[in-house]
Structure 1
Amino acid sequence: RKSLKTAAGDVNILAFPVKHWGARKQRDMHRGYNGYLLERNGRRILFAGDTALANSFAELRQHRQIDLAIMSIGAYNPWIRSHCTPEQAIEMANAAGAQFIMPVHHQTFRLSFEPFREPIERFKAALKDTPERIALREIGETFVLPQ
């Protein structure tokens, strides 16, 4: 855990392990990869980064509820060992105790073989019983955390 002073005030940052191939080139095997939990003024935001299904998210729940989990939901076909499915992203956000989930890493450019809108459609379908938890449904929308 590290505390960082910013123009907006102190931010506590906790790095936690995720499951991804951290290299940028084929022979580059020595890069790390993390997710981050950011805390400021009693608010907690989780940024998972690129990750496959990982069990490290449940440990984050021990402290307090996560207000917002920013979760990657695309590029899983055929990269399932480095990128989670939309359903797995929700599973990890739930394990962390997230109130809201913001889907990212989809529909910006073709990185894998799943149909272009499949990740967001699967994400929305998986949260059909609690759609109020979805922070953004489409690219370009704005989300403000409720007080």
Structure 2
Amino acid sequence: MPLSRRHFLQRLGLNGLIVLLARYGLAPSVWADEESMYLRNDELPVIKTDYPGNILIDGRFVNEDRSYVNNSFGKIFNWMMSANPQKKEKEEDPFKLKTIKLPPLNDIDKDCIIWLGHASFLIRLDGKWLLTDPCLTHPPTQERLVELPIPIEKIEPLDYLLLSHGHYDHLDRTTVENLPARGVKALLPLRMGELIRAMNKFMDTQESGWYQQFNINESFKIYFLPAQHWYLRVPWDRNKILWGSFLIERNGMKIYFAGDTAYAEHFKEIYKLFGVIDYCLLPVGAYKPTYIMKTNHTNPEEAVAAFNELHGKVFIPMHYGTFDLADEPLGEPVRWLQKLNDEKNINGELKIPDVGEIMYI
């Protein structure tokens, strides 16, 4: 029988609560004085005019929009101890993601995007394979609700690993340890390299700040861009490692992977820099209760606003249905998106893929 939130937290303890906060992407408030500096990778090009680098305050990264007020431990704890007002609706929701089994990657000979669940995508470009946010088992205290379309050890060839941030539902040690990693280059936020090399010593790593272009010798370019989020894996590393989003560009075709983010002004800035985005991979789940989640995640309506501000052509939703991370029913994000689409609120094509579905580009 599933545990109530109250009994679950009693078993979890304080250390478990810290892990839980990281799993949900919930930032507790911590006061800091204003000793600041800028940081970037000086070996990489900066693509935004006069951008000095990411701001560090007392050794911790901050968002571009610092008006967002993070949640206190007390506020988060009170939510976890409270009843879910959608509990009955959630229990009765029949929604379940469908999985399509993938063939060996070498048998796929056209460029494509493949959703593996949550924020994990395989992307093929000119014969190279990229994997985003590798969480192909499950985060702590969670179970995976959808079958993988391909075993982790069969994800080969693999050329690039793109990591938006280090929360447990986006970066899973077991996944990284078991990837066929020889020759794989991990493209990372600033200060994440040591963490990834500890998980898999065979990975080559390259770190970037926001508005920088990774150094890769390919027919496509990869840029690291902002997200409105935060970082934590253990109690003492809050925001000591950066977070962000990615844009991949090849011959004018652009794919934007938003990572984990709240709605903020960076979407407009990305459009100013890059113009129309062909494929927008945007998070739409884990948004209730609003008073907790709004500073960390986008709901479907906010994701649609972001898509429209990016002037996107194809909207591919993610970050829903794979793990049960919040109060809303699992199928609510998709139903809300479909309603927004039916009402002509999406200025482009909405593509809701099955897990493992090959979307040719």
Which range, TM-score by smaller chain?
Answer: 0.7 to 0.9
Q: 1:18 to 1:113 in 2, by over 3 A?
A: same
TM superposition shift of 1:41: 2.3
- Per-residue deviation, 1:138: 4.2
Deviations 1:28-66 (A, max 9, x none): 211211011110122100000000111101122223210
* Residue 73 of structure 1: aligned partner: 284
- Where structure 1 has 5 or more consecutive residues not aligned to the other structure, the ranges are none
Aligned: 1:10 with 2:219: yes
Question: If the length of structure 1 is used for normalisation, what is the TM-score?
Answer: 0.86
Rg larger in 1 or in 2? 2
Instruction: Classify 1:115/1:26 alpha carbon distance in 2 versus 1 (closer, same or farther; 3 Å).
Output: farther
Task: Answer whether contact 1:17 1:34 (CA < 8 A) is retained.
Answer: yes
Q: Give the aligned partner of residue 124 of structure 1.
A: 338
Q: Is the CA contact 1:73–1:106 (under 8 Å) kept in the aligned structure 2?
A: yes
Whole-Å Cα distance in 2 between the matches of residues 83 and 125 of structure 1?
20
> Cα offset for 1:90?
1.0
Aligned position for 2:256:
46
- CA positional deviation for 1:76: 1.0
Q: Assess if the C-alpha contact under 8 Å between 1:120 and 1:137 holds in 2.
A: no
Q: CA deviation at 1:14?
A: 1.8
Q: 2:351 pairs with 135, 139, 144, which one?
A: 135
Report the equivalent of 2:228: 19
Three-state SS of the structure 2 residue aligned to 1:54 is coil
Which 10-residue stretch deviates more, 32-41 or 126-135? 126-135
Task: Compare 23-32 and 98-107 and name the one that shifted more.
Answer: 23-32
CA distance in 2, matches of 1:80, 1:138: 27
Name the structure with the higher helix share: 2
Q: Are residues 27 and 125 of structure 1, via their aligned partners in 2, closer, same or farther at CA, if it must alter by over 3 Å?
A: farther
* Over 4 Å off, 4+ runs: none
State whether residues 136 and 143 of structure 1, in contact with CA within 8 Å, keep that contact through their aligned partners in structure 2: no
* Percent of matched pairs sharing the same residue: 30
Matched, 1:88 2:292: no
The normalised TM-score by structure 2 is: 0.37
Task: Tell which deviates more after alignment, 11-20 or 64-73.
Answer: 11-20
Moved more, 45-54 or 136-145: 136-145
> C-alpha distance in 2, partners of 1:124/1:137?
13
Q: Is the 8 A contact 1:74 1:105 kept in 2?
A: yes
Structure ranking higher in strand proportion: 1
User: What do the CA deviations read for 1:79-107 (whole angstroms, capped 9, x no partner)?
Assistant: 22111101101111111111111000100
Query: Which shows bigger deviation, 85-94 or 26-35?
Result: 26-35
- Give the Cα separation in 2 of the matches to 1:76 and 1:112: 7
Please tell me whether the aligned partners of residues 271 and 310 of structure 2 are also in contact (alpha carbons under 8 angstroms). yes
Instruction: Extract unaligned runs of 5+ from structure 2.
Output: 1-211
- Give the Cα–Cα distance (whole angstroms) in 1 for the partners of residues 276 and 347 of structure 2: 19
Query: Residues 26 and 120 (structure 1 numbering): CA distance in 2 closer, same or farther, change over 3 Å?
Result: farther
What's the C-alpha RMSD, in Å, of the aligned pairs?
1.9
